[in-house]
Chains A and B, each alone.
Chain A
């Protein structure tokens, strides 16, 4: 997958991802996680609108992201999962663990 990021004045950083999110993308995702160290970031929003597929490794790194955000006292929000991704999130109880908006 590839991604673009934008930040807003009130400390909300939005990362829009595109394509399939699988094991091979863990390095890219690591760079996204590094944003959490930015002192200007208050909330990291992960936009899944254009992600067509997640595998179990992807779910693993998203859970790691949750821990990292908590450790650093930042908000993590998931935005608009669709199709297979939405199904996976539902079965994995992500709707209970994360703040997910559509």
Chain B
């Protein structure tokens, strides 16, 4: 800052020097305040634009979250309902239906089995009866054979008896004929019986084929399917629960976003604060300006002291951003403060705004 001049060497030229220093410091002050005052509204604008941008992104996010919520809800709904041929059927209802159908199938299998076995018993009985009848016919045939022999014997005896045995011969003949008729009849009966036996045997074989089909695996399958269905129901339940959590999550996201958007209103406050700062700085600046003019009128020299150069260097160091450095340089130029541009590695600007190289003639070097 301002060098502290010892009181002993205080004379006209020293106070001049002091004025000079004060004046140039004030001008530097004004120059930098100028830059700051310009920067503050820029910052305000930057904050406002960024906040707006964020707010609009948040709104997009909110819409996306809402969409997601709706989709999740749709999926939750889908877990309870299956569409079958255009009709909506409840999941649990469907499984119940399968259960009933299986039970019905099992009952039918059992019924068919019972009926088939009843027929098997019945045919067993029939075969047994047929066998008996066959024996009877055999017996009849045996009897007719013997009857035939008897008739034959009677014919022979009657021939021996001569004329007296004539009547007897006739009877014997009739017996022979009768016995022949019976024999023919029993042959026919035997044929018919064989036919029936054949049919019964065929039926029996067919029935045996049917009755021996073991449906026990089919019956056991029902248990497997029931277990599978239980698992499906359980999984469906689990699925529903997880989806519910997802749905709740989505809702929470929506709520958080709404809060965030509200929280974005800070840019108003920031703008106000910055505006206040700017006004104060500008006020201070105009005061400095007035003071600077007054001190300039009193001073006779126009050189900038060494320590101002040092100060300028320090200020330039504070400006990390290249474009702020540039704006400061422009501001100093506007306020007629000349600096060693080459020393500070910046392009010096002329009043018309164009930049020039550090080693051009119109730069005042120290």
Mark A residues whose CB is within 8 Å of B: 22-23, 26-27, 30, 53-57, 59-61, 63-64, 84, 87-88, 90-93
Contacts and interface: CB of A to CB of B under 8 A. Distances in A.
B214 A56 contact: yes
Given A91-B223, A92-B219, A56 B118 contact: no
A40 B211 CA distance: 33
Given A56-B109, A60-B211, A63-B110, A88 B216 contact: yes
B214 A22 contact: yes
Contacts of A55: 214-216
Contacts of B218: 56
Nearest to A56: B215
Contact of B113 (A56, A84, A90): A56
Contacts of A90: 223
Contact of A87 (B118, B211, B220): B220
Among all A-B residue pairs, the 9 with the closest Cβ atoms: A60-B113, A56-B215, A60-B117, A55-B214, A60-B114, A63-B114, A23-B212, A56-B113, A61-B117
B264 interface: no
B214 to A, nearest CB: 4
B48 to A, nearest CB: 76
5 contacts: A26-B117, A60-B110, A63-B110, A88-B219, A91-B106
B222 interface: yes
Q: Is the contact region of chain B dominated by helix, strand, or loop, or is it mixed?
A: helix
Given A64-B114, A92-B110, A57 B121 contact: no
A64 B110 CA distance: 11
A23 B208 CA distance: 9
B121 A56 contact: no
Nearest to A30: B121
Contacts of A30: 121, 124
A91 B215 CA distance: 12
A93 B117 CA distance: 19
B113 A59 contact: yes
Contacts of B112: 60
Contact of B117 (A57, A87, A92): A57
A56 B120 contact: no
